[in-house]
Amino acid sequence: MQFIKILIFILFIFSYTSSCFGFLDSVVLLGSWAYQKLSNNYCSKKDIPSDFKALRSLIKGKIFGQPLIESTVVNALRSHWDERSEPEKALTISFHGGPGVGKNYVAKFIEQALYSQGIRSPNVHNFNARLDFPKISEVDQYKKNLENWISGNVSRCPKQLFLFDEVNQMPPGILDALKPFIDHFDDVKGISYKRAIFLFLSNTGSEIINENSYYLWSKGIKRNEIKLHFFEKLISQGSFNEKGGFQYSATIKSNLIDHYIPFLPLMKSHVRMCIEEEFRKNFIPNPTEEQIQAVLDFIDWGPEADNGVFAKTGCKRISQKVRLLAVDDEEY
């Protein structure tokens, strides 16, 4: 597809340049331009700026109530691409938690900060379980396609990002295709995958995370005192046994997931920050308490109706509710 686009563009420009320059000059000029385009592997510092400072800033300013993200995810990514040493294997990070707690936002921020073109970078590959792997009967074909796609792209540029969303909706077995690429091998058929990054997003384990979060809250443990090891083992065990892409997966059985990151359920203070941020996006920098409460009234709280500590859907529906109020606030 890239070649066809370039060829069409060359034919279009050629008609113009040949009228301004000589025939041979036009051929040399366009040939040089086409060679540069076709030989570009999008692997330069300009293409992959790896701006971890920007990533940290985005997470600190836009993600609420998730203290483990900045301390774990940013450091894991930064150390993985540290040019002073070579990692032992590809980096694998799995995000777990309920809806509206920030998993997709953090993934988007990673893409934006690491790659100059963000999600549009040829080095960023987003897969959605419902869209890309809908049929259980096609699992073997999906695995072959994944193997070819991953090897083809990493052979072009080692710093690839592969993101798998809604892993809990994925047919079991597909992720087993990743095992050779994320294992402790120097190379696979002459290609090293050590600089690649694999991100997994899933609702799997959300019940365990919510229950443990409630227990820690009831014991008076503050959110910024929560440690990763409080959750990792629980999440890995739950993911291995729950229905979905990780069920009985070799990626878990062989201990190939480097970090299981729990996205904690959001409390009222965190939801308020989401609401205020959405109002700012809609050009209302200082929303009134009445406006904030109007959005909070739409939120369902749990774990029990009479003891609501956490927002059941996090900040998921807030943007639509804020926009509704923002439009109503406008003068016509």
- Compute the distance between CA of residue 22 and CA of residue 32 in angstroms, rounded to an integer: 16
- Compute the distance between CA of residue 186 and CA of residue 269 in angstroms, rounded to an integer: 47
- Compute the distance between CA of residue 269 and CA of residue 322 in angstroms, rounded to an integer: 17
Judged against a pLDDT cut of 70, whether residue 12 lies above it is answered with no
Q: Which residue from 218, 270, 212, 264 is spatially nearest to 237, judged by alpha carbons?
A: 212
Domain 52-262: give its CATH code. 3.40.50.300
Q: pLDDT tier at 331 (50, 70, 90 boundaries)?
A: low
Helix/strand/coil for 1: coil
What was the pLDDT predicted at 306?
Answer: 61
The whole-angstrom distance between residue 313's C-alpha and the CA centroid of its chain comes to: 19
Burial code (b: 16+ CB inside 10 Å, e: under 16) for 272-284 equals: bbbbbbbbeebeb
Instruction: List Cβ neighbours of 162 (8 Å cut-off, separation of 6 or more).
Output: 125, 127, 150, 196, 197, 198, 199
Average pLDDT over residues 31-40: 47
pTM: 0.85
Judged against a pLDDT cut of 90, whether residue 253 lies above it is answered with no
Q: pLDDT tier at 16 (50, 70, 90 boundaries)?
A: very low
Question: In the 8-state DSSP scheme, what is residue 137?
Answer: G
What was the pLDDT predicted at 305?
Answer: 57
Chain segment 86-144, per-residue pLDDT in tens: 999 999 999 999 999 999 999 999 999 999 999 999 999 999 999 999 999 999 999 99
Burial code (b: 16+ CB inside 10 Å, e: under 16) for 177-187 equals: bbeebbbebee
- Compute the distance between CA of residue 107 and CA of residue 96 in angstroms, rounded to an integer: 12
Q: How far is CA 327 from CA 123, 279, 298, 320, in A?
A: 39, 11, 17, 11
Q: pLDDT tier at 9 (50, 70, 90 boundaries)?
A: very low
Query: Is the model more confident about 12 or about 299?
Result: 299
Chain segment 287-301, per-residue pLDDT in tens: 999 999 999 999 999
Chain segment 143-168, per-residue pLDDT in tens: 999 999 999 999 999 999 999 999 99
Instruction: List Cβ neighbours of 278 (8 Å cut-off, separation of 6 or more).
Output: 318, 319, 322, 323
DSSP per-residue letters across 227-292: -GGGTHHHHHHHHHHSSSTTTT-HHHHTT---EEEE-PPP-HHHHHHHHHHHHHHTT-SS--HHHH
Judged against a pLDDT cut of 60, whether residue 218 lies above it is answered with yes
